[in-house]
Amino acid sequence: MDGHALMNGFGFFKRLLGSQAAAEHRVEPQAALGARMLVVDDSPTICAVLGKMLRQDGYAVLKATDGKEAIELARSERPALIFLDIVMPGMNGFAVLRALRHDPLTRDIPIVMISGNPQATEQFYVQRFGADDFMQKPFDRDEVYLRIGQLVGSGRLDGRLPSAPVPVEALPALAAELSADELADIPDIAMPDAEVAPPLAGVAPLQVVHGIG
C-alpha cells in the first residue's frame, strides 16, 4: 500500500471513529452492534453510500441489486432491518415487500422503503403498503440514523447498550470490501439516480402489518 492510500485509510478510520463519538451524543437510540442490515437498490452508488453510513455506525451490511436477490437474502440471512428501494427493474419494491410480508420467515422483519421518484413516493403514502417507514432520496447519515432510532424506540429493533462502541480491532473489517481510495470517494449523501417510474398503478394494496400510519 503506498503512502497516499495509507493516509486515505487512516482518514477513513478517523472519520469512522469520529462518527462513533458523534453517535454517543445523538438523542435517538442505536440498533444492536453488528446488526445485519440489508440494502436493496439497483443503483451501485446508493448501495455504496448507504452501506458506508451503516458500517460507520457498527452494522453489518448485506446488499442486493434486484428483487429476487433481496428475497433470497432476506430468507437466508434474516437481517435485522431492510432498506428497500421502490423503483427497480423487473420486480419493484412494492412486489418485494408483498412477498416478504407473506413469507413466515420474513414477515416480521422491519422494512424502510426508499425512493427518489415522485410517483412511487405518492403511491407509498396513498396505499400504506405495510412497510415500517419511508425515506426519500436524497438522504444523509442523520436521516438514516433517525429511522433506525425510531424503530429501536418502537421496539421493532433491538437496541444497543450505551457502552458498546465498535471495537477498534474490528474497524479494518468494515473497510474490507473497498480500497482506501474507493472508500474516500464514496459521498456522505445518497442522491437519487434518474429513475423511470414503473407501472405501479396495477399493484394491489397490501394490508398493513407494521405500517407507519
pLDDT in tens, 102-128: 999 999 999 999 998 888 878 877 666
Q: Band of the pLDDT at 211, cuts 50, 70, 90?
A: very low
- 11: its cell numbers: 482518514
- Sketch the domain layout of the chain as residue ranges: 3-161+169-190
Which residues make Cβ contacts (< 8 Å) with residue 129, sequence separation at least 6? 94, 97, 98, 113, 205, 206, 208
Say if residue 205's pLDDT is above 90.
no
Q: What is the largest CA-CA distance in the chain?
A: 56
Say if residue 4's pLDDT is above 80.
no
- 210: its cell numbers: 407494521
Among 112, 139, 134, residue whose Cα is nearest residue 40: 112
Stronger pLDDT, 44 or 171, i.e. the higher one: 44
Q: Class for domain 3-161+169-190, per CATH?
A: alpha beta
Chain centroid to CA 156: 15
Residue whose entry in the numeric block shows the C-alpha cell 462513533: 20
Mean pLDDT of the chain: 76
Among 173, 133, 115, residue whose Cα is nearest residue 28: 133
